[in-house]
Structure 1
Amino acid sequence: MKQKIREWLRRYLPAEVLSVAATLLAAALALRATGNGLSAALAGTWAGNVAYFGWLLGQDVWQTRRTLQASGRPYRWRTLGQNVRALAVEFGVAEVFDSLLIRPALLYYMPRWLGSFGTGIVVAKLLADVTFYIPAIISYELSKKRLRRFE
């Protein structure tokens, strides 16, 4: 189990760090620009998603390219499609609920409930991550056998 936890941390932790920074920055900029908490919640949600999934896709592409190059095969557009499909399977169910309901609601209400914008955004993100990672990790483990074999 320790090995699995290390694998998940190597995969998800750098993406999380980038996502937290993007979430805080976008939410703060949107709040400053609009004065609207809902705009801040949505901007934070989507900026965090772009940073998170951009990092993961970049890592998957880099790793797949290395694997293919080691065996003398090229990375093609079709391979990129396989990388994108693997991410969609890994995160599809979790992401739908997370981005459209759970995360925006928490990002909207937590700053109000806690009385601090920054603290509320971070706490909301951490709470939303709990409901996000359970199905995502299960899907990741299942997808490794079928969708992440490029040897």
Structure 2
Amino acid sequence: MKAKVGEWLRRYLPAEGLSVVATLGGAGLAWHLAPGREVQAALAGTWAGNVAYFGWLLLQDVRQTRRQLHRCGQRYTRRTFGQNVRALVVEFGPAEVLDSLLIRPALMVWLPRLLGSRSGGIVAAKLLADVTFYVPAIVSYELSKKRLRRFEE
């Protein structure tokens, strides 16, 4: 189990770090451009964090797949890229829909109000939403490794 936790931390922790920075930046910029529009700021923060998070994971998956194929003397193709994207959709799809459209934006609207701090509320919202996000994502990741993340022919 210790090896699995290490694998998950190596996979998700760098993406989380980038996501926190992008979430704060996106929400802060939206608040600056449209003061008082909390829902827009919450959505901007959510989506900025998502772009950073999934962009990093896709980049890492592509790099790993390219190395794996290169060792076998095979090329990385558009079809392979499609497989990388499909594996991410399977890994995060159901968890991401609920997270991005409901749980995370709602927490990002209400927690800054309740805590009296925009940045503190956003970080708290992100951490709470991550709990409901990672359980199904990790289960899907483990299942996808058996079927969707094998690229050698």
Same fold (TM over 0.5): yes
Residue 63 of structure 1 is matched in structure 2 by 64
Q: Does 1:26 align with 2:26?
A: yes
Partners in 2 of 1:80 and 1:63 — Cα distance? 12
Partners in 2 of 1:88 and 1:38 — Cα distance? 26
Q: For structure 2, which runs of at least 5 residues remain unmatched after alignment? A: none
Residue 14 of structure 2 is matched in structure 1 by 14
> What SS does the aligned partner of 2:76 have?
coil
CA drift at 1:124: 0.2
Percent identity of paired positions between Structure 1 and Structure 2: 72
> What SS does the aligned partner of 2:149 have?
coil
Question: Taking structure 2 as the reference length, what is the TM-score of the superposition?
Answer: 0.98
Partners in 1 of 2:120 and 2:72 — Cα distance? 48
Residue 115 of structure 2 is matched in structure 1 by 114
RMSD: 0.4
CA drift at 1:150: 1.2
Runs (4+) off by over 4 Å: none
The alignment of Structure 1 onto Structure 2 pairs a total of residues equal to: 151
Residue 137 of structure 1 is matched in structure 2 by 138
> What SS does the aligned partner of 2:50 have?
helix
CA drift at 1:39: 1.0
Partners in 2 of 1:145 and 1:114 — Cα distance? 43
Question: Taking structure 1 as the reference length, what is the TM-score of the superposition?
Answer: 0.99
Partners in 1 of 2:98 and 2:138 — Cα distance? 15
Partners in 1 of 2:89 and 2:119 — Cα distance? 30
Residue 128 of structure 1 is matched in structure 2 by 129
Partners in 2 of 1:20 and 1:95 — Cα distance? 16
